[in-house]
A = this chain, B = another copy of it.
Amino acid sequence: MFSFSTTELQKVKIQLEQELFERVVPFWERHSLDITYGGYFNCLDQDGSVYDTTKHIWLQGRQVWMFAKLYESVHTEQKWLDIARLGAEFLRKYAKTEGNRVYFATDRQGRGKQIQRKIFSECFYAMALNQFGKVTGEFTYQEEAIELLEHIWTWSKDLRLIGQVSYPGVPPNQGLAIPMIMLNVFEEISGSNWSRYESEIHICINEILQHVDSERKIVFETVGLDGEFIDSIEGRMLNPGHAIEAGWFLQHWAQKLNDQSLQNRALAMVDWSFERGWDQDFGGLYYFLDSEGCPPTPLEWNMKLWWPHTEAMYAWALNYKLRRKESDWNNFMMTLNYSFDHFSDPVHGEWYGYLNREGMRTHQLKGGPYKGCFHVPRGLLYTIQCLEEIGD
């Protein structure tokens, strides 16, 4: 079994803690709070200045969750609870509309601007309220989250209920995103009391595993209803960062369920997706690939985004914790070093989000419609906690 000096572990842990508490969290504390109308500004330039006041609800929910999590996990700083409350109250007042649907975006004042035919806004809303209720003891927040979860689960099983259209004659398929996010929501909302969701959790796990082709060592984004390969743009599409995130979501359940076989599959999902997704020429994880080497069609396929790297950083720490392989630690360090070299901003804090294949920065923003106070602090926090457990 590989082992390294406690000094190296300590050094990395301190690096991550400085990043989280001195550069990342303060960025959002300083620049994102909308004291006038509640909620957060989530479209922030590199120095934190606001370039759009739209409130994207995925990011409002995620930031509530994040500050409530920091309050719970690290040390109970009252200001973090106040920040979480600013968003939680905004969500409750403005983010929900008819039929328990949650907006994708509102304007600064909270007037609805857009609804998606997807369940993600609802998922982040539920995770936010649940975590906020948990740390404040204000149970009505958790009750609302649990009630919303019932609706989300129903919709997730039949997306036509929220307006998605199915076409006769076209074989239905299944995506990785929905069982992933559902499994994450169940982890959050059920806590240690997960047996009430046992059957739903097993459904999600099995659905995710249908995307895992153990023979070919590939995790597919989209497969047929029986997990079969679909030879099309969608069917061949790989999203390595997403597959790695699915790996650690599953790993959390493997540990809770004490399921060795599931543990091994989750370990392997990270191994394979990283191996396939890492750019051997320029470093970093590709955003999308085609499993058969056909031309990827998304315009951004070869870009390097911040979030696959925060997911991979934590996933390698977790893999290392479980099996202590030297290569896990090396991949962890490679991911960490790439991320700090390319995404971190010692001047203004938080991470940049987008690079071209060669690793040159393409976007200066720190927050936008899909980037907020979430992947960076979550990845850092979870990795720090994991390193603590490794060191114990």
Interface residues of A, Cβ cutoff 8 Å to B: 43, 45-46, 51-54, 107, 111-115, 165, 167-170, 232-233, 294-297, 299-303, 354, 356-358, 362-365, 368-369
Q: Determine the distance from Cα of A85 to Cα of B299 in the docked complex, in whole angstroms.
A: 32
New contact pairs (5) apart from A46-B295, A297-B368, A301-B362, CB-CB < 8 Å: A112-B169, A113-B170, A295-B363, A296-B363, A297-B369
Q: Are B233 and A51 in contact (CB under 8 A)?
A: yes
Q: Determine the distance from Cα of A362 to Cα of B355 in the docked complex, in whole angstroms.
A: 13
Q: Are A365 and B167 in contact (CB under 8 A)?
A: no
Nearest to A364 among chain B residues (CB) is B295
**B residues within 8 A CB of A114?**
167
Report copies per complex.
Answer: 2
**B residues within 8 A CB of A43?**
233, 297
Please judge, given known A-B contacts A107-B170, A167-B111, whether A51 and B294 are in contact too, CB under 8 Å.
yes
Q: Nearest chain B CB to A144's CB is how many angstroms away?
A: 23
Q: Are B111 and A233 in contact (CB under 8 A)?
A: no
Q: Determine the distance from Cα of A331 to Cα of B379 in the docked complex, in whole angstroms.
A: 48
**B residues within 8 A CB of A232?**
52-54
Q: Determine the distance from Cα of A151 to Cα of B157 in the docked complex, in whole angstroms.
A: 35
Q: Are B112 and A368 in contact (CB under 8 A)?
A: no
**B residues within 8 A CB of A112?**
167, 169-170
Q: Determine the distance from Cα of A300 to Cα of B364 in the docked complex, in whole angstroms.
A: 13
Q: Are A51 and B295 in contact (CB under 8 A)?
A: yes
Q: Nearest chain B CB to A300's CB is how many angstroms away?
A: 4
Contact of A362 among B169, B170, B302 (CB under 8 A): B302
Contact of A233 among B54, B167, B299 (CB under 8 A): B54
16 contacts between A and B (CB under 8 A): A45-B294, A46-B295, A51-B233, A52-B232, A54-B233, A107-B169, A107-B170, A111-B169, A112-B167, A233-B369, A296-B363, A297-B365, A299-B362, A300-B300, A301-B362, A356-B358
**B residues within 8 A CB of A364?**
295
**B residues within 8 A CB of A354?**
299
**B residues within 8 A CB of A303?**
299
